[in-house]
Amino acid sequence: MKYARLTKEQFEELHQEFINFLATQSITADEWKKLKAEKPEVAEQELDIFSDLIWEGVLNKVNYLEHISPKQLMLFHISEAFMELIAIKVEDDNIDITNEYGYKWLQQNLHDDKVSLYTSTKAIKDDRNKDLFVLIQQGSVITKGALYNYFSELLSE
């Protein structure tokens, strides 16, 4: 398995897609029930293969990720060849950028001595999707890039 097995809720959400997946493998509903009962290890492999296919499809479409913690904002822009990062760190114990007050403070005090800004670009060498999956497992979420673009514009001024 390359990524991680989908959760029960995700499988339920993707029920029709899973049925279609089984159909492409010429597995009927009855055969699936029989497979689960008689050869659970084969059924588990099918679940893993389907999970990897879903993850691969999702990760192929990812262009932006963000990871927000109380003191740090990490914004990623991902292309086929590069991963660009805007990292913002707040070094004020009274500020938590995960709440509305803290985030507004950050927007108004971006050039404060207690705020550090970093940017970097890294070439993607091996498996782009595996790199993205690791970031997601570490708490990053897939976004449309609004925060990345907002801070990118601020930094280019």
Give 70-128 pLDDT, tens digit per residue. 999 999 999 988 999 999 999 999 999 999 999 999 989 988 899 999 999 999 888 89
Backbone angles phi, psi at 83, to 5 degrees: -125, 120
Is 0.75 topped by the overall pTM? yes
CA distance 135 to 133: 5
Contact assessment for residue 97 and residue 110, using Cβ atoms and an 8 Å cutoff: no
pLDDT of 37-46, one tens digit each? 999 999 999 9
Per-residue b or e along 49-61, where b marks 16 or more CB atoms closer than 10 Å to that residue's CB? ebbbebbeeebee
Q: What pLDDT does residue 100 have?
A: 93
Bridge partners of residue 86, in order along the sequence: 75, 119
Domains in the chain: boundaries = 8-60, 64-156
